[in-house]
Amino acid sequence: MADSPDQGAVHVPVMLDEIVALLGPALTNRPSADDRPILVDCTLGLGGHAAALLENCPQARLIGLDRDTDALDTARRRLAPYADRIELVHAVYDELSDVLADRGINDVQAVLLDLGLSSLQIDRTERGFAYSVDAPLDMRMDRSEPLTAEQVVNTYSAADLTRILFEYGEERNARRIATAICRERESAPITNSARLVQIIAGAVPMAAQRTGGHPAKRTFQALRIEVNRELEALKGVLPSAVDVLAVGGRIAVLAYHSLEDRQVKQVLRVASSDRAPRDLPVVPPELGPELRLLTRGADRPDDREAAANPRARSARLRAAERIAPAHRSTPRGRAG
């Protein structure tokens, strides 16, 4: 996510034109005003993508989910011109199925997931997400949840910290950093980002600090993912997001690191492949693919956007469309 919390100078969200181009066709050309297509923005953030889609698709109705109440408040103000077409819900995106079931909705025309942090969470330094400024070690996207980064750092065992840093941060020096954290917290609890950054810098060899960016980057990513159970939630939402798509409906996902993107790639790949045995000459309709991929691999921001918005540089966009069931068996190698 990449909006600005300053409503006087709202930044353009990541790959905005691409998102509108991919999801727009599923949200237009409905037969009547009563048959409004539904867009579910599972990570509403500050509402930048949603606003553009509502503007470009005047028949569309939005259900916007976010776990961050600050983001919901800001998005509600930003989306005020479309108030009669929106419903904003305080929920984590893996609650998608329950949110729709509670509203009697069986299928939708578009689903958007813009993963990672919003600019609001980064720019409000008191939230503790940024390693570049000193702040309390919080890192909760939903501040009603009990687990904070401070608790993780001060109560998890060295083995658990090592696992989290290695798996969620892909940190090669995970064991060194975890050992240093456990040693330092014995003298006093680690409560702020500046002290944690200092501990990490002291644990990472100087040779490793000369490459790969800031030495605390991967540790902060890992702690954030653990606190907010981001990969667990993503694993839960992706199959649900595919299942709720109506025929002709589309899903678009923006991921910002390889852990997220691998999950997205796997789910879309499986759903876009048939499930028939490889030696079967004809694919029965019930074993055909559910999705048609709309992107070749992952699309990336162009050089101009990456230069203008550093937060867009790591973005990977994947999208797919739910396809109609075949009315007859499809010979392999031919379009159905």
CB burial of residue 39 (10 Å; 0-12, 13-18, 19+): buried
> For residue 166, which of 244, 158, 329 has the smallest C-alpha distance?
158
**List of residues 6+ apart from 218 with CB closer than 8 A:** 165, 169, 170, 171, 212
Is 64 assigned a ligand-binding role in the annotation?
no
As a whole number of angstroms, the distance between CA 100 and CA 214 comes to 41
What token pair was written down for 312?
Answer: 């867009």
What token pair was written down for 103?
Answer: 């509203």
Neighbour-count burial for 71-109, b at 16+ CB within 10 Å, e otherwise: bbebbeebbeebeebbebbebbbbbbeebbeeeeeeebb
> For residue 47, which of 2, 100, 103 has the smallest C-alpha distance?
2
Is 121 assigned a ligand-binding role in the annotation?
yes
Is 66 assigned a ligand-binding role in the annotation?
yes
As a whole number of angstroms, the distance between CA 135 and CA 125 comes to 6
As a whole number of angstroms, the distance between CA 35 and CA 283 comes to 34
Report how far apart, in Å, the C-alpha atoms of 269 and of each of 54, 64, 216, 289 are.
Answer: 29, 26, 33, 10
As a whole number of angstroms, the distance between CA 243 and CA 316 comes to 22
Is 48 assigned a ligand-binding role in the annotation?
yes
| Identity of residue 92 | V
Strands of 316-322's sheet, edge to edge? 86-90, 61-66, 38-41, 108-114, 245-255, 316-322, 291-293
Residues annotated within the binding site for S-adenosyl-L-methionine are: 47-49, 66, 93, 114, 121
Residues annotated within the binding site are: 47-49, 66, 93, 114, 121
